Amino acid sequence: MNQIQRGVLALCMLASGGAFAADAVSLTIDAARPGAVINKDVYGQFAEHLGTGIYEGLWVGPKSKIPNTKGWRNDVVGALKNIHVPLVRWPGGCFADEYHWRDGIGAREKRPVNVNTNWGGVDESNAVGTHEFFDLVEMLGADAYVNGNLGTGSAQEMSEWIEYMTSDSKSTLANMRRKNGHDKPFKVAYFAVGNEAWGCGGNMSPQYYSDVYKQVETFLRAPKQYRPKIIASGGNDNDVTWSEVLSKELKKQTDGISFHYYTIPTGKWEVKGASTGFQENEWISTLANTLRMESHIQKNSAAMDKNDPEKKLGLFVDEWGTWYDVEKGTNPGFLFQQNTLRDAVVAALNFNIFHAHAERVRMTNIAQMVNVLQSMIITDKDRMLLTPTYYTYQMYVPFQGATSLPVTLKDNPDYSAGGFKVPEISASAARGTDGKLYLALVNTNPNKDADVALNIPGQAIKAVKGSVLTSSAMDTHNTFQSPNAIKPAPFSAAAGADGKLTVRIPAKAVIVVAVE
Ligand code: AHR
């Protein structure tokens, strides 16, 4: 047991029976008023042809000495299966708007080599194409989210890709898919028409995009049982114009609108802030900035409500996560960054927000799965390590498909530093598909433990059991020298003699427990 784990254990023992402060935060779960189901796809991932996110990080090719299945790394795929990845978005991102699907089918050695102009100008071998992507999602037991090329592609190209993937007919394209090794149609859960059309996807206005989308969508024909949900590429950050215009113009032709929001410590793209070695002012600014997701979702959802009060359309946050300055000595186009306890807290805060908006937010994709931005996994040649963000996903697995429950926090103080303030405790509760009640708690304060008194009207609480993720330093992270510097530890607490249960959450920690 290392020092960190010993510290966590001591805190857990405290949680099960010590004396608690009189100023506990009061948390009430209204178990009798279930809300919307938290779609499992809220826990989706994003894998783009960017840096070593796919090539090296996931794909090494069937001839590699690194153990693999059909070219995909066994170690990485195995770890991802443990967090029950429900959905993978591919091939981009900005990359998607320059991707031509025909370059990625047929014999790999005959595929063209392109330049990845968005990400580092490196060669794109097209070794990973449609069939390889579906091998990956099949191995993960995940659904596929394919992003179409509106930027340099055409309605015809997207229409033919859909036919290639989903047709059960004897058409030339369906037979080409069979010849390339897949007899039955692929199951495409979601298909997006372009990405970030306001920027790298073509610098369009929402009105212009709507018109082009209408034209393209008309030709995205798939047999009923294979028809993907079709996504319109929406706005980002503070701008609700895209949600407003798209929900009005496209409501009969789309299943949802995407939205992107990245968390930057400084809030400035030019100097974003470091992934490690930061001070408390950047701990809190990162958390304050990530919590803006709440108002972004509220505003976008309200804009959509005007045109879609029944909430038929989803708001799909298909890119989110932390974005720091790249690690020194790495290719700036590869967006490689370390991942610390701060990232784990960021992930948990976002999950709690997504759960609270489960009715509208029915799918999200963290950017990105391996080696890029806020990743689950970092690889170095044949080695792999799991990041604190990975562990947050693991701890939150019971929330996939669970039914959200209203949570009220009273006497929740602000944690303030460096001119910022954020609520000390963030919480979310849900009834899992196994019938158990799950509770997630975050203590944003890096300096102080917090006591949370639990209350479920009409129900006695005997105990809580689950796990905690914390550490002594704000930027604790795993490295190849020290791959287990941070990982979850067991956490439990029991009701006192008075029948009341107060949970002591360590400073800067994420806890997920089943409530008994
Ligand atoms: O995730 C990295 C990039 O960020 C994506 O390619 C793009 O859509 C966004 O700007």
- The pLDDT tens digits for 345-391 are 999 999 999 999 999 999 999 999 999 999 999 999 999 999 999 99
Ligand 1 closest atom vs CA 367: 1
* pLDDT score recorded for residue 482: 98
Task: Answer whether 196 contacts ligand 1 (Cβ < 6 A).
Answer: yes
Residue of 124, 196, 217, 424 marked catalytic: 196
- 3 state SS for 162-192: HHHHHCCCCCHHHHHHHHCCCCCCCCEEEEE
Q: In the structure, how many helices (H) and strands (E) does the chain have?
A: 11, 26
Q: How far is the CA of 500 from the centre of ligand 1 (A)?
A: 47
Residue 439 has pLDDT above 60, yes or no: yes
Task: Give the Å distance between the CA of 260 and the centre of ligand 1.
Answer: 9
Position 20 pLDDT exceeds 90: no
In angstroms, the CA 76 to CA 370 distance is 9
Q: Are 451 and 22 in contact (CB under 8 A)?
A: no
Dist. CA 143–CA 133, nearest whole Å: 11
- The arithmetic mean of pLDDT across residues 332-341, rounded, is 98
For 472-495, the pLDDT digits (tens) are: 999 999 999 999 999 999 999 999
What's the rounded mean pLDDT across residues 188-212? 98
Residue of 200, 269, 370 with the most ligand 1 atoms within 8 Å of its CB, for mutation:
200
Q: Please name the residue whose Cα sits nearest to atom 8 of ligand 1.
A: 93
The answer to whether 319 is a known catalytic residue is yes
Residues 386 and 393 sit within 8 Å (Cβ to Cβ): no
98 in contact with ligand 1, CB cutoff 6 A: no
Ligand 1 pocket test, pick from 145, 195, 203 with the greatest ligand atom count within 8 Å of Cβ, gives 195
Measured between alpha carbons, how far is 439 from 240 in angstroms, rounded to an integer?
32
Among candidate residues 48, 132, 244, 319, the one labeled active-site is 319
Indicate whether residue 376 lines ligand 1 (CB < 6 A). no
Phi-psi bin for 385: left (phi > 0), alpha (psi -120 to 50), beta?
beta
Asked whether 417 and 424 are in contact (CB, 8 A), the reply is: no
Ligand 1 pocket check for 449: Cβ under 6 Å: no
**Considering only 12-26, 204-218, 220-234, 288-302, which range has the smallest mean pLDDT?**
12-26
Residue 149 CA to ligand 1 center (angstroms) comes to 14
Of 11-15, 30-34, 189-193, 371-375, the range with the lowest mean pLDDT is 11-15
User: Could you identify the residue written with the tokens 């791959």?
Assistant: 483
Give the per-residue pLDDT at 23. Answer: 87
Q: Is 48 in the pocket of ligand 1 (CB under 6 A)?
A: yes
Instruction: State the pLDDT at residue 30.
Output: 97
CA distances from 216 to 242, 243, 307, 512 (A): 18, 19, 22, 43
Is pLDDT of 68 > 60? yes
pLDDT of residue 183: 98
CA distances in angstroms from 256 to 74, 191, 193, 252, 315, listed in the order given: 34, 11, 11, 10, 6
Position 10 scores a pLDDT of 42
**pLDDT > 90? residue 13:** no
Q: Which of 139-143, 180-184, 497-501 has the lowest mean pLDDT?
A: 497-501
- Mean predicted lDDT score pLDDT of the chain: 95
The answer to whether 344 and 512 are in contact (CB under 8 A) is no
Task: Tell how far the Cα of 175 is from the centroid of ligand 1, in angstroms.
Answer: 34
- Shortest CA distance to 483 belongs to which of 387, 393, 342? 387
Of 182, 323, 315, the closest CA to residue 254 belongs to: 315
pLDDT in tens, 47-61: 999 999 999 999 999
Ligand 1: nearest atom to the Cα of 46 = 1
Q: Strand order of the sheet with strand 407-410?
A: 407-410, 25-29, 450-455, 501-505
What are 133's two structure tokens? 């992507």
Residue 144 pLDDT > 50: yes
Model pLDDT, residue 22: 66
The confidence band for 18, taking pLDDT boundaries of 50, 70 and 90, is: very low
Ligand 1 atom nearest the C-alpha of 92 is: 6
DSSP state of 340: B
pLDDT at 260: 98
Partners of 316 in the beta sheet? 258, 363
What integer is the mean pLDDT of 262-266? 98
Domains of the chain, first to last = 3-34+405-515 (2.60.40.1180), 41-401 (3.20.20.80)
